[in-house]
Chains A and B, each alone.
Chain A
Amino acid sequence: MSASAVFILDVKGKVFCEYFKELEEESIRDNFVIVYELLDELMDFGFPQTTDSKILQEYITQQSNKLETGKSRVPPTVTNAVSWRSEGIKYKKNEVFIDVIESVNLLVNANGSVLLSEIVGTIKLKVFLSGMPELRLGLNDRVLFELTGLSGSKNKSVELEDVKFHQCVRLSRFDNDRTISFIPPDGDFELMSYRLSTQVKPLIWIESVIEKFSHSRVEIMVKAKGQFKKQSVANGVEISVPVPSDADSPRFKTSVGSAKYVPERNVVIWSIKSFPGGKEYLMRAHFGLPSVEKEEVEGRPPIGVKFEIPYFTVSGIQVRYMKIIEKSGYQALPWVRYITQSGDYQLRTS
């Protein structure tokens, strides 16, 4: 049970996060009543009970000064057979928002060879649907295409690895005919995650020269190149370049965007608001170094990159359809959004 034991601690942290936004000493201190209440419901006699924060939120309300009457009703989920959705939910407008988010993990060696490149994809849903709807999601999954004979035609398909689903998805049906069918929880949740380890060209490529002249100065030259389609634009690009902790008097020159020295993290952050594909930009930085060298040796932190490319997925995954069926027969609208973002994106420096 070792994996479970470790995992519950992690989950507890997450539940607290959903209640307090941020989990830190301060927030626990301020909300100790809720913490006690939560712990009481999460665990009994050392056994995990209800850990789903959505259900917890139904009976531990955050407005603790909201007075309750003596005959307050029990949230139906407490007694429900489908533990993740309450009965009797109603919305005026029935909508589903689908976010397909792919984050790119990259590790590049100091000599420029890619050590590790993988894509971790998640499909997140925001559900505003009345009643007990039955949803079916269609993707351009290669295995499904082969099953149905769609492959070979002009349809592009994607091979998903290591697919994991939310508890609500009927796994047996997915195993049989790759159909993703489920009764969704209300509100936000992560429907599925997958992984692709096919090698892709790094979306933002960095070349750097960091020259350290002991006792006098450090000179940094960073070249960033967008290696994705010209139509796409990466937003909020942040490239953090490590500098020695005793560096001083920074000076920057950038072809685009702005650079900032963050002494508490010992990095220079070069931010570019929008970075179109195929473009190449340059930043130079100059730091002074004290003439007395300090004792302890420093590590060689990597260069980190953050970015977000909307309307684009690296894997090419697409939502082909989303069918929503409910007894009352209402019409519901699915909205789809695609985003590619940086995950653990690191380039080692020499």
Chain B
Amino acid sequence: MPYLGSEDVVKELKKALCNPHIQADRLRYRNVIQRVIRYMTQGLDMSGVFMEMVKASATVDIVQKKLVYLYMCTYAPLKPDLALLAINTLCKDCSDPNPMVRGLALRSMCSLRMPGVQEYIQQPILNGLRDKASYVRRVAVLGCAKMHNLHGDSEVDGALVNELYSLLRDQDPIVVVNCLRSLEEILKQEGGVVINKPIAHHLLNRMSKLDQWGQAEVLNFLLRYQPRSEEELFDILNLLDSFLKSSSPGVVMGATKLFLILAKMFPHVQTDVLVRVKGPLLAACSSESRELCFVALCHVRQILHSLPGHFSSHYKKFFCSYSEPHYIKLQKVEVLCELVNDEDVQQVLEELRGYCTDVSADFAQAAIFAIGGIARTYTDQCVQILTELLGLRQEHITTVVVQTFRDLVWLCPQCTEAVCQALPGCEENIQDSEGKQALIWLLGVHGERIPNAPYVLEDFVENVKSETFPAVKMELLTALLRLFLSRPAECQDMLGRLLYYCIEEEKDMAVRDRGLFYYRLLLVGIDEVKRILCSPKSDPTLGLLEDPAERPVNSWASDFNTLVPVYGKAHWATISKCQGAERCDPELPKTSSFAASGPLIPEENKERVQELPDSGALMLVPNRQLTADYFEKTWLSLKVAHQQVLPWRGEFHPDTLQMALQVVNIQTIAMSRAGSRPWKAYLSAQDDTGCLFLTELLLEPGNSEMQISVKQNEARTETLNSFISVLETVIGTIEEIKS
């Protein structure tokens, strides 16, 4: 990253760093180094003074050391050859008498992100794990995770893992937690750190000694432990009881989740826990930290889905304060909607009504929609409030109120009369498409009860040429035709004009088609039109469908205290999928030498399969025989890349399968005897780029299907897909021969 003007600065700093006078004066020396760091922070390329900085690390001044190490960690990836020189100094510092220096040096060394550093850090880390100062042990334990991360694909070092497991018994609480973190990172592929009974009990006993971050994390790890008996389960719950009262919200939430998960068979325990965390959750909802407040509100909503009315007596806590940011106000309004009951409905509605006239149009509209939601249960009060809001004659309010009315009339037909009386005059204050559509729909469906309906629609017909939204025109066509059926005399003329316009002048195809459709329908006869257009005007049952049924606590317990309640389940799924894809990206082939898309094997035909290599897609190398040992080792180290189930019936001769596979250059490593259940076979194949495909075929007893798991030593989706289709074809063919 060349940065304009950095050359001069580098030159000057280099000179200063080399100056023996400055080197002799500690304060001045450190000041120069500080300047280097300052420029580095600002984005200037300071890698030019690397050598000089390495020299500066040989000092007794610990602050200077810290700065130099920081510098090294930043530029080591850029100057790996020079950084190797620094390692010597770092190694020496790792055996400094001062534990602070030892820890600092080890931490910095593990953070040098450059190739080949592993061989140098291994020994210092091992020494660090047995250091007598806990500060160094903390660093060394995390260093193990960093080292594993640098390797990337390296195998798990069993001895190191064992050492870390034994360090779980360390007397320093942070070392214990760091061990868990480190093991989790190293054993990620195998599903993370294993929490068995002794470890779980050990951790439970140490809980009170840990700091809040440690507690929160250990609670999360304990989720993996499944108590053996009911007695043990309740012992654990009793031990953890006090953590529900922790002053750290993270610990409270972690403990709550653990309770919910462990007590999944005991609904009354779950309810009891949720009652007890009510206080802490409410406190978090009014926390000074806005972000925390938001997260807490999201969790409150989650709980309300299962226990409606859980926070009812505290509804006032969810009233918005003037200075709160938008996102919190919107969440609070949602919560208020769900808390409404017979006792508080009056107060909640009054509060919401105050929000409807807020300066922020978004917030005001959200409040109006909220009232609309409450109106499904408390129709009369809400319709009255909404009607009053129309009197304000403000555009953003009117449009939302009319939309709310439309939805409400559909779900609660008993309010039709009131809505119809409120509507006249609204048309003057609606400009947007959504609002217009809602108004026109209401006028069309309930036009016989609104005296001036034809005249309002007439205005729309007059201005239809300047109407920009096609959706409004379509709505207008339907509404006018409906109104024509109930009030023909007033509408006939303008219906004619509208149809003429839509058919002759309108450019939007959908609108034109709709116009033509209605025209032809009218030609068939008025009775037919009535039969088709006059559908029911309301459907109260829809409300029941829309209201989500009470969800059991267990349906969301595993999402509690994750980001799922914050983002919503569906949204979070997409986000995490995107992140996963990004992470996989670098592993994709840089030079894909073949076009691997397209159907590879169109028919189940062995001859065709044999022709495959010529087609240039997937090229499996013949006679590539792996030893069983090598196969086993590779198999265990890889993740399953693809899993699939094929239908499979009856018996067959394994030799046939083996031969068929041989034809397409897939070798059989091992196979169960014919007829044995479960029946297993292990296959291997390699393509011309050296990519290995390892496969397991499995027939479970009593199951009429074959389970296929494929592992790949390089993650390449295209070749994997081709390989699987080859395999499918072969197995399909065998199945056919057999039957």
Contact surface of A with B, Cβ cutoff 8 Å: 1-4, 6-10, 32-33, 36-37, 40, 44-45, 47-52, 59, 64-65, 67-72, 74, 78-79, 81, 83, 105, 107, 109-110, 115-116, 161-167, 171-172, 175, 193, 195, 297-302, 344, 346, 348
Cβ distance B504 to chain A, nearest Cβ, rounded Å:
43
Known: A3-B295, A3-B296, A79-B134. A47 touches B245 (CB 8 A): no
Known: A2-B565, A37-B63, A40-B66. A51 touches B213 (CB 8 A): yes
A31–B558 CA distance with the chains assembled, in angstroms: 42
Known: A1-B562, A78-B134, A299-B359. A45 touches B146 (CB 8 A): yes
Out of B62, B133, B291, B292, which one reaches A78, CB within 8 Å? B133
Cβ distance A12 to chain B, nearest Cβ, rounded Å:
11
Chain B binding surface, main DSSP class: helix
Is B242 among interface residues, defined by CB-CB distance under 8 A? yes
Leading 4 A-B pairs by shortest Cβ distance: A4-B250, A162-B279, A171-B242, A164-B247
Out of B135, B213, B350, which one reaches A48, CB within 8 Å? B213
Chain A binding surface, main DSSP class: mixed
Out of A162, A298, A302, which one reaches B280, CB within 8 Å? A162
Is B358 among interface residues, defined by CB-CB distance under 8 A? yes
A68 touches B61 (CB 8 A): yes
Starting from the known contacts A50-B211, A78-B100, A115-B319, 11 additional A-B residue pairs (CB-CB under 8 Å) come to A1-B220, A1-B254, A3-B249, A4-B213, A33-B37, A47-B142, A48-B213, A79-B134, A110-B354, A164-B245, A171-B208
* Interface-lining segment among B167-175, B709-717, B727-735: B167-175
Cβ distance A180 to chain B, nearest Cβ, rounded Å:
13
A107–B247 CA distance with the chains assembled, in angstroms: 25
Known: A8-B213, A33-B37. A47 touches B60 (CB 8 A): no
Residues in B with CB closer than 8 Å to A348 are 322, 354
Residues in B with CB closer than 8 Å to A302 are 321-322
**Which A residue's beta carbon lies closest to that of B171?**
A81
B63 touches A167 (CB 8 A): no
Out of A6, A71, A167, which one reaches B97, CB within 8 Å? A71
A179–B327 CA distance with the chains assembled, in angstroms: 41
Cβ distance A200 to chain B, nearest Cβ, rounded Å:
15
A193 touches B247 (CB 8 A): yes
A72 touches B283 (CB 8 A): no
A45 touches B247 (CB 8 A): no
Chain B residues with a Cβ closer than 8 Å to the other chain, count: 80
Question: Which of A48, A50, A52, A69 is packed against the most chain B CB atoms within 10 Å?
Answer: A48
A65–B212 CA distance with the chains assembled, in angstroms: 33
Out of B138, B220, B249, B351, which one reaches A115, CB within 8 Å? B351
Residues in A with CB closer than 8 Å to B63 are 33, 37, 64, 68
Residues in A with CB closer than 8 Å to B292 are 3, 6-7, 10
A195 touches B283 (CB 8 A): yes
Is B686 among interface residues, defined by CB-CB distance under 8 A? no
Known: A6-B292, A44-B107. A67 touches B61 (CB 8 A): yes
Query: B residues 562-578 with Cβ under 8 Å of A?
Result: 562-563, 565-566
Out of B138, B250, B563, which one reaches A7, CB within 8 Å? B250
Is B248 among interface residues, defined by CB-CB distance under 8 A? yes
A83–B212 CA distance with the chains assembled, in angstroms: 12
Is B151 among interface residues, defined by CB-CB distance under 8 A? no
A50–B107 CA distance with the chains assembled, in angstroms: 15
Known: A45-B145, A51-B213, A74-B133. A6 touches B220 (CB 8 A): no
A3 touches B253 (CB 8 A): yes
**Which B residue's beta carbon lies closest to that of A39?**
B70
Binary contact track B141-158/A, C-beta < 8 Å → 1, others 0 = 010011000000000000
Is B386 among interface residues, defined by CB-CB distance under 8 A? no
B242 touches A175 (CB 8 A): yes
Cβ distance A342 to chain B, nearest Cβ, rounded Å:
14
A83 touches B216 (CB 8 A): no
A302–B320 CA distance with the chains assembled, in angstroms: 12
A44 touches B100 (CB 8 A): no
A175 touches B241 (CB 8 A): yes
Binary contact track B645-680/A, C-beta < 8 Å → 1, others 0 = 000000000000000000000000000000000000
Residues in A with CB closer than 8 Å to B249 are 3-4, 7
Out of A37, A51, A74, which one reaches B99, CB within 8 Å? A74
**Which A residue's beta carbon lies closest to that of B293?**
A6
**Which B residue's beta carbon lies closest to that of A105?**
B286
Residues in B with CB closer than 8 Å to A167 are 211-212, 247
A81 touches B322 (CB 8 A): no
Binary contact track B236-259/A, C-beta < 8 Å → 1, others 0 = 000001100111111011100000
A67 touches B26 (CB 8 A): yes
Out of A65, A164, A165, A299, which one reaches B27, CB within 8 Å? A65
Residues in A with CB closer than 8 Å to B41 are 32
**Which B residue's beta carbon lies closest to that of A170?**
B208
A346–B387 CA distance with the chains assembled, in angstroms: 30
Question: Which of A7, A9, A166 is packed against the most chain B CB atoms within 10 Å?
Answer: A7
Is B139 among interface residues, defined by CB-CB distance under 8 A? yes
B211 touches A51 (CB 8 A): yes
Known: A2-B562, A51-B213. A301 touches B60 (CB 8 A): no
**Which A residue's beta carbon lies closest to that of B132?**
A79
**Which B residue's beta carbon lies closest to that of A36?**
B70
Binary contact track B196-236/A, C-beta < 8 Å → 1, others 0 = 00000000000011011100110010000000000000000
A93–B461 CA distance with the chains assembled, in angstroms: 91
**Which A residue's beta carbon lies closest to that of B41?**
A32
Cβ distance A173 to chain B, nearest Cβ, rounded Å:
10
Instruction: List 23 A-B residue pairs with CB atoms under 8 Å apart, sorted by A's residue number.
Output: A1-B216, A3-B254, A4-B249, A6-B289, A32-B37, A33-B63, A36-B66, A40-B70, A44-B142, A45-B181, A68-B62, A71-B97, A72-B98, A74-B135, A78-B134, A83-B209, A107-B316, A162-B279, A166-B247, A171-B208, A175-B242, A193-B247, A299-B358
Residues in A with CB closer than 8 Å to B67 are 33, 36
A74–B62 CA distance with the chains assembled, in angstroms: 12
Cβ distance B133 to chain A, nearest Cβ, rounded Å:
6
Query: B residues 343-394 with Cβ under 8 Å of A?
Result: 347, 350-351, 354, 358-360
A37–B252 CA distance with the chains assembled, in angstroms: 30
Cβ distance A81 to chain B, nearest Cβ, rounded Å:
7
Cβ distance B333 to chain A, nearest Cβ, rounded Å:
15
Query: B residues 277-294 with Cβ under 8 Å of A?
Result: 279-280, 282-284, 286, 289, 291-292
Known: A33-B63, A45-B145, A68-B61. A74 touches B98 (CB 8 A): yes
Known: A2-B563, A33-B63, A47-B181. A115 touches B213 (CB 8 A): no
Is B497 among interface residues, defined by CB-CB distance under 8 A? no
Cβ distance A248 to chain B, nearest Cβ, rounded Å:
22
Cβ distance B135 to chain A, nearest Cβ, rounded Å:
5
B322 touches A346 (CB 8 A): yes
**Which B residue's beta carbon lies closest to that of A350?**
B354
A81–B138 CA distance with the chains assembled, in angstroms: 14
Residues in A with CB closer than 8 Å to B92 are none
Residues in B with CB closer than 8 Å to A2 are 253, 295, 561-563, 565-566
A295–B38 CA distance with the chains assembled, in angstroms: 46
Is B317 among interface residues, defined by CB-CB distance under 8 A? yes
Cβ distance B507 to chain A, nearest Cβ, rounded Å:
36
A100–B347 CA distance with the chains assembled, in angstroms: 34
B321 touches A3 (CB 8 A): no
Binary contact track B26-61/A, C-beta < 8 Å → 1, others 0 = 110000001001100100000000000000000011
A241–B245 CA distance with the chains assembled, in angstroms: 39
Residues in A with CB closer than 8 Å to B289 are 6-7, 10
Residues in B with CB closer than 8 Å to A44 are 107, 138-139, 142, 178
Cβ distance A231 to chain B, nearest Cβ, rounded Å:
32
Out of A32, A74, A163, A164, which one reaches B100, CB within 8 Å? A74
Residues in A with CB closer than 8 Å to B98 are 70-72, 74
Cβ distance A149 to chain B, nearest Cβ, rounded Å:
25
Residues in B with CB closer than 8 Å to A109 are 350, 354
**Which B residue's beta carbon lies closest to that of A4?**
B250
Residues in B with CB closer than 8 Å to A116 are 316-317, 319
